[in-house]
Amino acid sequence: MLKNRHIQGWLQASPLTLILIGFLILPIITIVVVSFWQATEFSIIPGFSFENYEFLFGSPVTYKVFFATFKYAAITWAMTLAIGFTVAYYLAFHIQNQTTQIALFLLCTIPFWTSNIIRMISWIPFLGRNGIANSMLQSWGITDQPLEWLLYSDFSVILAFVHLYTLFMVVPIFNTMTRIDHSLIEAARDNGASGFQTLTHVILPLTKPGIMIGTIFVLTLVMGDFITVRFMSGSQKANVGRLISNDIALLQYPSAAATAVILLITVLIVIGILLRFVDIRKEL
């Protein structure tokens, strides 16, 4: 009987296992293998060589690009966490009516009804030299001339990232907060805890799994993004995603694969560090 159950369980899991192998494991293995190949201007040479990795680790551009990627990821994470936690906290603890909660939460998802590119490009006419933001600042007398740094700068790139990915922080935090027993908050208040003490000693510790899930979402999305940096910086800034994209455009697939492998390892290390702080399996 136990053997039959084991076989039945394996048969039920086998389709998902095949999908996982075919669409995740094999592509990653392929990328790793290609990263050791060589490429010329006209052809790709299958073989085994550390040339691509030697070039990457020996080039100062690689370190600058990875630093820029980490900078974008860290600033975006901090801003999405602040906004996401505030929105989730308001929805979970200040809106008592469940229907209103759902309505406001769906309101947050309205921007996601359009594509990322459309939402990102919509900032360009707003932040441009003759855009709405500069026109308003000048009409109010705040500035005498257009602010050049509003568009095609680190500011515009990070603003677009925050706009695109804040919801990925809101959802897991809100989901975690709705599971918090309100009697714990009442008990903290009855024992004389202030609002700040209740937040730091009760709500924050219980919300850690949601914060970690949101952090993983945001960091992985930002570190793997390339189109946002390209458009919002006017091709003046670069991150790892753009480095890979440029190599692919030049048909330098082995170099792009090597960069992708390094990025993958970096992201896995970051996720591994985050998972040491909290067990998110309870939330999944």
Does 284 have pLDDT greater than 60?
Answer: no
Sequence letter at residue 224: G
Q: What is the pTM of this model?
A: 0.87
The proportion of the chain whose per-residue pLDDT surpasses 90, expressed as a percent, equals: 34
Q: How far apart are CA 215 and CA 275, in angstroms?
A: 11
What is the domain partition of the chain in residue ranges? 29-283
Average pLDDT over residues 210-226: 92
pLDDT digits (tens, 9 = 90+) for 113-156: 888 888 888 888 888 888 888 888 888 888 888 888 888 889 99
Beta-carbon contacts of 55 under 8 Å, excluding residues fewer than 6 positions away, are: 255
pLDDT digits (tens, 9 = 90+) for 146-197: 888 888 889 999 999 999 999 999 999 998 988 888 888 888 888 888 878 8
- In angstroms and rounded to an integer, the radius of gyration of the C-alpha atoms of the chain is 23
pLDDT digits (tens, 9 = 90+) for 52-78: 999 999 989 999 999 999 999 999 999
pLDDT digits (tens, 9 = 90+) for 231-271: 888 878 888 988 998 888 888 899 999 999 999 999 999 98
Q: How far apart are CA 201 and CA 147, in angstroms?
A: 43
pLDDT digits (tens, 9 = 90+) for 30-52: 999 999 988 877 778 888 888 99
- What confidence score (pLDDT) does residue 221 get? 93
Give strand ranges (E) for the chain. 38-39, 44-45
Q: How far apart are CA 147 and CA 59, in angstroms?
A: 34
Superfamily of domain covering 29-283: MetI-like (1.10.3720.10)
Give the H/E segment covering residue 39. strand 38-39
Q: Which of 86-90, 98-102, 240-244 has the lowest mean pLDDT?
A: 98-102
